[in-house]
Amino acid sequence: MPHTPAEKKRALARVRRIRGQLDALESALEQGVECGPVLQQLAAVRGAVNGLMSSVLESHLREEFSSPPHPDAPEQRNIDDIISLMRSYFR
């Protein structure tokens, strides 16, 4: 989840743009548009979703891994934890 109001505003704007892209894709499919433009629109949607996920993941990583650990928290997370987290999101 984006942590600052500015990050939240940017994330919501991206979601709205993605919704618009999906609406255009739906319309193209309903109208029977040729495969080339549909595939191009699908690639654009995928890119937009990946961009949003990347942005939210970056925010999460900065929040979770850049601050010093709390005294009562388990030992600080290491690079293996970060790699595992990233792999789980990019399957």
- Region 5-63+77-90: CATH code: 1.20.58.1000
Query: CA 81, CA 6: separation in Å to the nearest integer?
Result: 28
Q: Which of the residues in the chain have pLDDT under 50?
A: none
Its pTM stands at: 0.73
pLDDT at 80: 74
pLDDT at 66: 72
pLDDT at 75: 56
Residue 75 φ/ψ, nearest 5 degrees? -50, 155
pLDDT at 67: 64
Residue 19 φ/ψ, nearest 5 degrees? -60, -40
**3 state DSSP class of 86:** helix
Neighbouring residues of 55: CB distance < 8 A, sequence distance ≥ 6:
2, 7, 10, 11, 14
Q: Where are the domains of the chain?
A: 5-63+77-90
